[in-house]
């Protein structure tokens, strides 16, 4: 006795379903076929495309088959899966293209229990799962092939076709969009990588200066010495570091400037606006209109540095400390005065000042004592000067004839209306105050 399990699936906009039939073939060729398990589901409220619903019904068909195989425990059971969707067959057979998550997860579930060779195409008229996806009345169910299966299951030879399954179309909305990227390798300068480990510009310059000295000593250019680096060595090292940063950040621009093709730079390129040029030391500098001035060369034509460089951050930190943590303008001016022009310098300096611990401590607002509640005299409506404050101010030197005398002012302020009245005092005695008070009361 040979047993075969045939699982069908189909879907429509209203529902989807799956049904499985057990086909038994006797030794003398007699055939028996009956419905083993069927399921029908209503489509989700969120509208889905027909290919997605067909794929969901195929997953339901596979799950039904797994349950049947586990419960019947039939050895050498042959499995066949049928669907009327060529799109689903193309999805299951695909190995080259990638799908969106919904489709990819369901294809993975189908392939866990089946293989693409077990899936066959069946016409919609012969597919009994079509009844589950559209629904039937009791009378229609009796006349349909739902209970006994399609007619070809009762024949000796199954209509299994060996035709090739079509490929998934490139315009299929379930395909992930492919992106092609061109990767260009870029050499990393080991000196600049080492500089990223420094947090102080002066220490970095001294370290590179010692390294350059050791290289010269190793080559026999100069004698070995343990003296500290001098000013000339440090200046040469600063120029050396700036050139390294420029070669890494402005490779294309430097090549065009060297070949006198500055006009070929993009119109929005910052170097074109700065009229950049290469000096005798191959340092990229700002052009401008100060060539005839008496300023120092590096002040007239500062060296250009990129905004994203770690060296630029070290220089900003160094000169910000030199101006004793003053504001952005002072730090930028100090950079320019020392021959450094950083692209986007203003925003970079502002960012550094914002994160500077000392600046945050210095610029933090002081704590102010919370004021007490206003007294009743300040809030109660009353005639002017019912409640008032008194204060004296002066002295003022006034001339009476040929002599100079001191005079004072007495200030009355209404606590309710803030009205002000001022009287003159000859001196700070009690009698003078009482006379001024009587004048106020008499008004």
Q: What gap in Å lies between CA 442 and CA 435, rounded to an integer?
A: 11
At residue 119, what are phi and psi to the nearest 5 degrees?
A: -100, 135
176 domain residue, yes or no: no
Residues 6+ apart with CB under 8 A from 16: 9, 10, 40, 41, 43, 53, 54, 56, 57, 60, 132, 133
pLDDT recorded at residue 168: 79
pLDDT recorded at residue 241: 94
3 state DSSP class of 35:
strand
Residues 6+ apart with CB under 8 A from 100: 174, 175, 176
Cβ proximity of 405 and 398 under 8 Å: yes
Residues 6+ apart with CB under 8 A from 221: none
pLDDT digits (tens, 9 = 90+) for 181-194: 777 666 778 888 88
Q: What gap in Å lies between CA 346 and CA 298, rounded to an integer?
A: 20
pLDDT recorded at residue 32: 92
395 cis-preceded (ω within 30 degrees of 0): yes
pLDDT recorded at residue 172: 80
- The β-bridge partners of 82 are 8, 120
3 state DSSP class of 147:
coil
Indicate the residue among 328, 363, 398 that finishes a domain: 363
Do 255 and 343 reside in the same domain of the chain? yes
Range of the domain at 395: 380-442
Do 72 and 20 reside in the same domain of the chain? yes
pLDDT recorded at residue 31: 92
Do 344 and 390 reside in the same domain of the chain? no
Indicate the residue among 363, 392, 415 that finishes a domain: 363
Do 358 and 424 reside in the same domain of the chain? no
Mean of the per-residue pLDDT values for the chain? Answer: 89
Handedness of CA 233, 237, 240, 246 (dihedral sign): negative
Helices (H) and strands (E) in the chain, counts: 17, 12
pLDDT digits (tens, 9 = 90+) for 120-157: 999 999 999 999 988 888 888 888 888 889 999 999 88
* Beta-strand runs (E) in 263-387: 277-278, 284-285, 303-305, 340-342
| CATH number (domain holding residue 76) | 3.30.420.10
3 state DSSP class of 253:
helix
Q: What gap in Å lies between CA 197 and CA 177, rounded to an integer?
A: 41
Do 394 and 437 reside in the same domain of the chain? yes
The upper half-sphere exposure of residue 347, i.e. CA atoms within 13 Å in the direction of its Cβ, equals 5
Do 271 and 401 reside in the same domain of the chain? no
- Total domains in the chain come to 3
Do 201 and 335 reside in the same domain of the chain? yes
Closest alpha carbon to 295 in 335, 339, 259: 339
CB count in 10 Å sphere of residue 22: 20
Do 249 and 208 reside in the same domain of the chain? yes
347 domain residue, yes or no: yes
Structure tokens at 162: 């060996």
Cβ proximity of 355 and 320 under 8 Å: no
Do 326 and 435 reside in the same domain of the chain? no
pLDDT recorded at residue 12: 93
At residue 341, what are phi and psi to the nearest 5 degrees?
A: -125, 105
Do 95 and 39 reside in the same domain of the chain? yes
Cβ proximity of 209 and 234 under 8 Å: yes
Do 225 and 93 reside in the same domain of the chain? no
Q: What gap in Å lies between CA 135 and CA 13, rounded to an integer?
A: 12
pLDDT recorded at residue 401: 87
160 domain residue, yes or no: no
Per run of 10 residues, the mean pLDDT along the chain (length 443 residues) is: 92 94 90 93 91 94 94 91 92 86 93 92 91 87 87 88 72 78 73 90 94 90 87 93 92 86 75 87 90 88 92 96 94 94 94 93 86 86 89 92 92 91 93 93 87
pLDDT recorded at residue 162: 65
374 domain residue, yes or no: no
Model pTM score: 0.49
pLDDT digits (tens, 9 = 90+) for 348-404: 999 999 999 999 988 888 888 888 888 888 888 888 888 999 999 989 999 988 899
Structure tokens at 105: 């997860």
Per-state percent for the chain, helix, strand, coil, to nearest 5: 40, 20, 40
Cβ proximity of 303 and 337 under 8 Å: no
pLDDT recorded at residue 404: 92
Residue recorded with tokens 């005639």: 383
pLDDT recorded at residue 134: 87
pLDDT recorded at residue 370: 87
Q: What gap in Å lies between CA 337 and CA 300, rounded to an integer?
A: 9
């Amino acid at each position: 006795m040979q047993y075969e399990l045939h699982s069908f699936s189909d879907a429509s906009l209203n529902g989807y379903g799956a049904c499985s039939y057990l086909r038994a073939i006797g030794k003398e060729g007699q055939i028996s076929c009956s419905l083993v398990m069927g399921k029908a589901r209503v489509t989700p409220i969120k509208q889905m495309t027909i290919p997605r619903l067909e794929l969901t019904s195929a997953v339901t068909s596979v799950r039904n088959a797994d349950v049947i195989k586990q419960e019947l425990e039939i050895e050498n059971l042959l499995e066949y899966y049928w669907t009327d969707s060529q799109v689903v067959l193309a999805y299951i057979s695909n190995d080259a293209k990638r799908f969106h998550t919904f489709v990819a997860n369901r294809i993975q579930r189908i392939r866990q229990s089946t293989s693409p060779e077990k899936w066959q195409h069946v016409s919609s008229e012969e597919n009994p799962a079509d009844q589950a996806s559209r629904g039937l009345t009791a009378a229609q169910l009796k006349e349909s092939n739902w209970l006994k299966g399609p007619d070809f299951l009762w024949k000796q030879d199954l209509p299994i076709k060996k035709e090739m399954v079509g490929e998934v179309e490139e315009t299929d909305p379930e395909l992930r969009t492919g992106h092609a990227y061109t990767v260009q390798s870029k050499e990393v300068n080991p000196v600049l990588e080492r500089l990223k480990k420094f947090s102080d510009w002066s220490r970095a310059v001294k370290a590179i200066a010692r390294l350059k000295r050791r290289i010269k000593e190793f080559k026999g250019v100069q004698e070995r010495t343990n003296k500290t680096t001098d000013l000339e060595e440090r200046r040469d090292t600063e120029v050396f570091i700036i050139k390294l940063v420029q070669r890494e950040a402005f490779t294309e621009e430097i090549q065009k400037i060297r070949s006198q093709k500055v006009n070929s730079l993009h119109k929005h390129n910052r170097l074109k606006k700065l009229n950049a040029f290469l000096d005798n030391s191959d340092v990229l500098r700002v052009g401008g209109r100060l060539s005839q001035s008496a300023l120092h060369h590096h002040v007239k034509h500062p060296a250009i540095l990129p905004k994203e460089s770690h060296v630029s951050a070290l220089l900003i930190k160094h000169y910000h400390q030199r101006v004793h943590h003053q504001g952005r303008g002072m730090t930028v001016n100090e950079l320019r005065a020392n021959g450094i022009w950083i692209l986007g310098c203003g925003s970079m300096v502002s960012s550094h000042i914002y994160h500077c611990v000392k600046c945050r401590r210095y610029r933090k607002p002081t704590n102010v004592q919370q004021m007490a509640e206003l007294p009743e005299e300040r809030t109660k409506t009353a005639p002017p000067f019912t409640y008032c404050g008194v204060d004296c101010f002066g002295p003022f030197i006034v001339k009476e004839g040929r002599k100079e005398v001191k005079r004072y002012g007495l200030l009355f302020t209404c606590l309710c209306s803030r009205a002000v009245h001022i009287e003159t005092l000859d001196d700070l005695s009690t009698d003078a105050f009482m006379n001024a008070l009587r004048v106020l009361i008499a008004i």
